[in-house]
């Protein structure tokens, strides 16, 4: 919800804005899947080894982590451009 409040203040183009929003959605679902599925199957998903259930939890964590990285980069870029325009 905080990103939704910050989005209007970011200087992002239409494509970057779409990537930002869609990546946030995918990241939230991926981390939610990992948090729910991990305890159910008894796996932590910290390494891509072991049974297939661990691989699924690991993949969900990896997608969430990669999505977080993309969102933070876009957040920094959009905030930087917004400050440059305001100056």
The tens digit of pLDDT for each residue in 43-85 reads: 999 999 999 999 999 999 999 999 999 999 999 999 999 999 8
The model's pTM is: 0.88
Can you give the pLDDT at residue 86?
A: 81
Q: Are the beta carbons of 6 and 20 closer than 8 angstroms?
A: no
Token pair belonging to 28:
């939230």
| Burial class of residue 31, CB neighbours in 10 A (0-12, 13-18, 19+) | middle
For residues 85 and 63, give the distance between their C-alpha atoms in angstroms, rounded to a whole number. 33
């Amino acid at each position: 919800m905080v990103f939704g409040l910050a989005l209007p203040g970011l200087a992002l183009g239409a494509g970057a804005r779409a990537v930002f929003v869609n990546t946030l959605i995918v990241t939230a679902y991926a981390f939610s899947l990992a948090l729910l599925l991990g305890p159910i199957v008894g796996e932590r998903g910290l390494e891509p080894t072991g049974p297939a259930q661990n691989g699924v939890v690991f993949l969900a964590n990896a997608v969430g982590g990669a999505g977080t990285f993309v969102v933070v980069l876009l957040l920094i870029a959009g905030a930087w451009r917004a400050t440059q325009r305001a100056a």
